[in-house]
Amino acid sequence: MKTVAVAGGVVWSEHCQQRLQAHLTDFWAHDVWTFPRKASNKRQRPLSLRFTCVSPQLRIELKYALWYKFTSGEWQQEMGDEGRVSEVNHINKWLNMVAPTVFSLLERSLEQWEISLRSYLVERNLYHRRKVQALHSSQTYREMWGEDRRICLFRQIYTIVYRAYDDRAETEKEIWDMKALGIMVNPTVGTRYLSFLDIVPLWFRRLVQAFMRYNIALHSPGDCCTKLQVCKVFACYLATRQELQQAGVIDRSLVIDFMGWLCEQHYPEQYRGRMLITLRTVFKVCAHHLQLPHVSKEVLILEADFPKWERALPRDIPEEILEQLRRHLDALPTTVLRMVVIFLECGLRISELCTLAPSCLICDDKHEWYLRLYQWKSKKEHVIPLVDQQVVATIQAQQQEIRSRFGADWPYLFPRPRDPQQPFQQSNFARVINKWAIEQDIRDRNGTVWRFQSHQFRLSVLMIVLMASFVEFTR
Query: 443-452, pLDDT tens digit by residue?
Result: 999 999 999 9
pLDDT attached to residue 229? 95
The residue-averaged pLDDT of 92-100 equals 94
Query: Taking the model in full, what pTM does it have?
Result: 0.80
| Domains contained in the chain, number | 3
pLDDT attached to residue 228? 95
- Cα distance between residue 115 and residue 172, in whole Å: 28
For 289-360, strand residue ranges (E) read: none
pLDDT attached to residue 462? 73
Same domain, 190 and 100: no
Same domain, 39 and 125: yes
- pLDDT band of 1, cuts 50, 70, 90: very low
Lowest mean pLDDT among 15-19, 39-43, 70-74: 39-43
Tell me what percent of the residues of the chain surpass a pLDDT of 70: 92
Same domain, 378 and 464: yes
DSSP 41-110: GTTSPPEEEE---SSHHHHHHHHHHHHHHHHTTSS-SSB-SSHHHHHHHHHHHHHHHH-TT-S-GGGS-H
| Residues shown for the chain | 475
- pLDDT band of 396, cuts 50, 70, 90: very high
Same domain, 186 and 113: no
Higher pLDDT, 197 or 153: 153
Same domain, 402 and 333: yes
Q: Hey, which residues does 363 pair with through a beta bridge?
A: 369
Same domain, 107 and 41: yes
Flag whether 197 is in a domain: yes
Q: Indicate whether 14 pLDDT > 90.
A: no
pLDDT attached to residue 253? 93
The residue-averaged pLDDT of 362-375 equals 90
Flag whether 148 is in a domain: yes
Q: Indicate whether 7 pLDDT > 60.
A: no
Flag whether 311 is in a domain: no
Same domain, 149 and 12: yes
Task: Please provide residue 146's backbone torsions phi and psi, each rounded to the nearest 5 degrees.
Answer: -100, 160
For residue 253, the enclosing domain spans 175-305
Q: Hey, which residues does 374 pair with through a beta bridge?
A: 381
Q: Indicate whether 81 pLDDT > 70.
A: no
End residue of a domain, out of 267, 282, 305: 305
pLDDT attached to residue 13? 77
Higher pLDDT, 14 or 275: 275
Same domain, 100 and 29: yes
Flag whether 275 is in a domain: yes
pLDDT attached to residue 473? 54
The CATH number of the domain where 382 resides is what? 1.10.443
End residue of a domain, out of 244, 276, 305: 305
pLDDT digits (tens, 9 = 90+) for 207-231: 999 999 999 999 989 999 999 999 9
pLDDT digits (tens, 9 = 90+) for 277-336: 999 999 999 999 999 988 999 999 999 988 887 766 667 888 899 999 999 999 999 999
Flag whether 179 is in a domain: yes
End residue of a domain, out of 281, 305, 329: 305
Taking only Cα atoms into account, the Rg of the chain, rounded to an integer number of angstroms, comes to: 26
